[in-house]
Amino acid sequence: MDIPKGRNTANVGIGIQGSKSGNVRAITLLQNYLKNYLPEAKIIEMVVGGVPACGQIKQTISDGLMLVGDAARQSDPLTGAG
């Protein structure tokens, strides 16, 4: 995913579920993407982390309880933030 940030600058990211990745590392997939689609690109910063990816919770509220963000398995598809 490319998100333009300004002149000649973009956030480029990749997400991969560990159980589906086989022997391919996420950084390798990202490097291949850059090589194929943005060959002039240079990585100037990397942010790495985990994002809940195990499906929805049936109910996120109850008496005296409300789950949001990571706790509710909700994540922003653009940033990975919960």
| Whole-number average pLDDT of the chain | 81
The pLDDT score that the predictor gives to residue 38 is 87
* 3-state DSSP assignment of residue 65: strand
Q: pLDDT, tens digit, for every residue of 47-56?
A: 887 776 677 7
- 28-32, 44-48, 72-76: least confidently modelled range: 72-76
Q: Which residues of 44-69 are buried (b: 16+ CB within 10 A; e: fewer)?
A: eeeeeeeeeeeeeeeeeeeeeeeeee
Q: pLDDT, tens digit, for every residue of 13-35?
A: 887 777 778 888 888 988 999 99
**Bridge-based pairing state of the strands 61-62 and 2-6:** unpaired
Q: What is the mean pLDDT of residues 56-69?
A: 87
Share of the chain above pLDDT 70, in %: 85
Rounded to the nearest 5°, which phi and psi values hold at 3?
Answer: -125, 105
Rg (CA), the chain: 16
Element spanning 34, H or E = helix 26-37
